[in-house]
Amino acid sequence: MQFDPATNGTAPRSPLPAPKIHVVGRGVEEGDPLAIDPDLARRWLTSFLKDEVVRRRGFTKGIVGLSGGVDSSLTAFLAVEALGKENVIGVRMPYRTSSPESLDHALLVIQTLGIQAVTIDITAAVNGYLAQVEQNGDVDPTRRGNVMARERMIVLFDLSAKYKALPIGTSNKSERLLGYFTWHADDTPPVNPLGDLFKTQVRALARHVGVPEVILRKPPTPDLVPGQTTEGDFGISYDKVDRILYYLIRGMKPAEVVARGFTPEEVAKVAGRLESTHWKRRLPTVAMMSQTAIGEFYLRPVDY
């Protein structure tokens, strides 16, 4: 073969096939990258709750805000399995415009599990505040939604002190990665069993532990604005969003994700949300001025 300086050193035309190597931590490979073993996940997360709520933090009880959706329903089911039904308190926190269905489904969870229920209507608190700041209806739905979400955390933490019950979070990995939550509201509870599970994995686990079918079947909604659905807000189904997120945070470039069967627009939308919300997944930025800055030099884990 003649030496050709023009092609010497360039990549061969057809790249070598990628070797099929199983890498630990990548989980169940390609066919269904989001498949989980529900029984293993259930043992894993109930162990987590027993350790983090009872052994590490010394609480006997947990308190869960119940929206009637699949995340908080699953959280309540897991909490009951870990702590016992007499040690779990379910709190419903409707606003005047909340869907009655949300309240009914939360009640269904409470009755199915046989847990103590508390219902706090947040309308007066939210409206009492908004009346002082609203001018000519200038409080848009985002602001209203954020006020409701933060008011719910005021309630949850106050009831936590009242009942000596640790707030248990319900945010899933999909909404955490998309930044689809109110900062220092939904993400606030000190322990969260679902934060490393994508929404589709939450659904699979919820079905496995017996969350009522009517809750599993309805479209996800934050219910902050009447008629709102999560997937309507995104314009993409969770089934797709989760897979796009999975590939992106595994380190794939957007073009590589597109090659797996998504449109460039879908990938760009998800990537845009992911990349613009890193701040929401971190604590506030502190001006560092010393050699003992907390979390920079002075390093102690959360359970130390």
Partner 1 sequence: MPRLAIAQLRPTKGDYGANLQKIGGVLAQIAKLDPPADLVVFPETATSGYFVEGGVRDVAVTAGTLFRDLTVEHEAAGAPPVDVAIGFYEVFQNHFYNSCLYASLGNAAPGIRQVHRKVFLPTYGVFDEERFVDRGREIRAFDTRWGRAAILICEDAWHSLSGTIAALQGAQLVIVPSASPARGTGMDEEGIRLPASVVRWERILRGMADEHGVWVAFASLVGFEGGKGFPGGSVVVSPAGDIVLRGPLFEEAVLTLRCRLRGDHAGASGGAAASGSRSQSAASHQESGERGAGSRGQEAQAERRAV
Q: What is the DSSP string of 128-172?
A: HHHHHH-STT---HHHHHHHHHHHHHHHHHHHHHHHTEEEB----
**Closest approach of partner 1 to the CB of residue 286, in Å:** 17
Nearer to partner 1, 15 or 58 (CB): 58
Nearer to partner 1, 217 or 300 (CB): 300
Is residue 3 close enough to count as binding partner 1 by CB under 8 A? no
Interface positions, 284-303, toward partner 1 (CB under 8 A): 298-303
**Closest approach of partner 1 to the CB of residue 28, in Å:** 6
**Closest approach of partner 1 to the CB of residue 109, in Å:** 24
Q: Which residue has the tokens 């030099």?
A: 297
Ramachandran area for residue 114 (φ above 0: left; ψ -120 to 50: alpha; else beta): left
Nearer to partner 1, 50 or 218 (CB): 50
**Closest approach of partner 1 to the CB of residue 184, in Å:** 19
**Closest approach of partner 1 to the CB of residue 56, in Å:** 7
Nearer to partner 1, 56 or 281 (CB): 56
d(CA 296, CA 74): 36
What is the pattern of x (binds partner 1, CB under 8 A) and - over residues 25-54? xxxx------xxx-xxx-xx--xx-xxx--
Closest by CA position to 163, among listed 52, 63, 58, 53? 63
Q: Read off φ and ψ for residue 118, nearest 5 degrees.
A: -130, 135
Interface positions, 174-193, toward partner 1 (CB under 8 A): 191
In the chain, alpha helices (H): 38-49, 70-83, 100-113, 123-133, 141-163, 173-178, 199-209, 213-217, 230-234, 238-249, 254-258, 264-275
Q: Which residues bind partner 1 (CB under 8 A)?
A: 24-28, 35-37, 39-41, 43-44, 47-48, 50-52, 55-56, 191, 298-304
